[in-house]
Structure formats: structure tokens, C-alpha cells
Amino acid sequence: MKFRIALVVIGIVAMMAGCSKKEDTTVVSSDENSVTVTGEEGTATMEYGKAALPADLGLTLYPGATVGEGGTLQVESDSEEGADSVVSVSVHSGDDIEKVAQYYKNETKNEQPRIFEMAMPTGKMVTITIEKGGTVKTVVLSENTQQGGTDIQISRIRE
């Protein structure tokens, strides 16, 4: 599974580099817990088994949540086009989606979030989005009917 995730990260960075008109050099480094790809357009790092949000994100991890399948992905770009920074963290909670959704609704209430709730064939889904000054923060909650509880995906895209 880690190998597939590493391939996705490498593919994303390769696409970023492919959009550039400059020739660049890409450096890939990895260990058993992370993969980092660095090129002239920026750096992408995927860390497995780690769930850490940047201090300046303004969101916290749900209490008691454990690292999800994806771990943490952070991409920093020096490109003139597209996002300058992308952070994404996947965690899982054994709590039901209603409890987790209420936690994030309370946490974001002063930021005028857009909240979408929908029923899916695989369970309920809640999306909380906050846009402010070239930054988009998103919390996506998905009911996990197989494992029980709620899958939580927190991301920030900053231009």
C-alpha cells in the first residue's frame, strides 16, 4: 500500500514538473515512513503513519482520531501557476459522523464555513469549506460503514 501511495506522490510531482516549460531536475528520497520529491517547481512529501496539521492551519485533529491510510501529504511549489502550498491529512475516528461533524462545525463557526451534507450509497458525507484570502480549507467527513466510525480528510490549498 505504501508503494502505491508513493507512486501517486511521484505522479503528482511529475505532472507539476510536466507543466513547466523549463528543464528541471527531480530528486526523490525515501525511507520506510516517507517519500520526498524535490524539483525546480517545488517539493512534495508524503509521510506515512503521521497525522500532523500545520500550526497556522486554524483547525485541530479530532480528539482520539488515529492516522488514516494516507497519512500526511504536503506539497510546496515555486511555480508561477497553481497552488503554492497543499497540505492534506487523513485520520479516522470511531465516533459517528454526527458527533465529528458537530465538533468541526463548532470549531469553524466564526469563519463562515459552507457546509454540505449528503447521503451517499456508502453512507453520509459532510463537507465544510472555508475560503479566505487565497486559502481554501476543507474538512471532508465520510461515514465508514465497513470499519465503523468516520474517515476525516483535512486539507488546505494556499495560493
The candidate with the shortest Cα–Cα distance to 31, out of 43, 48, 15, is: 48
Mean pLDDT of 93-115: 96
Tens digit of each residue's pLDDT (9 = 90 or more) over 65-102: 888 666 666 666 655 555 577 788 888 999 999 999 99
Tens digit of each residue's pLDDT (9 = 90 or more) over 15-46: 444 444 445 567 677 676 777 777 777 777 77
* Whole-number pLDDT of residue 2: 45
Write out the CATH class of domain 2-158.
alpha beta
* Whole-number pLDDT of residue 98: 96
Higher-pLDDT residue of 45, 129: 129
| DSSP states along the chain | -HHHHHHHHHHHHHHHHHT-SS----EEEEETTEEEEEETTEEEEEETT-----GGG---PPTT-EEEEEEEEEEEE--SSS-SEEEEEEEEESS-HHHHHHHHHHHHGGG--EEEEEEETTEEEEEEEEEETTEEEEEEEEE-TTT-SEEEEEEEEE-
* Whole-number pLDDT of residue 74: 65
List the chain domain ranges.
Answer: 2-158
Q: Is the pLDDT of residue 48 over 50?
A: yes
Mean pLDDT of 51-77: 76
Q: Is the pLDDT of residue 134 over 80?
A: yes
User: Of all residues in the chain, what percent carry a pLDDT higher than 90?
Assistant: 36
Exposure string of 121-135, with b = 16+ CB inside 10 Å and e = fewer, is eeebbbbbebeeeeb
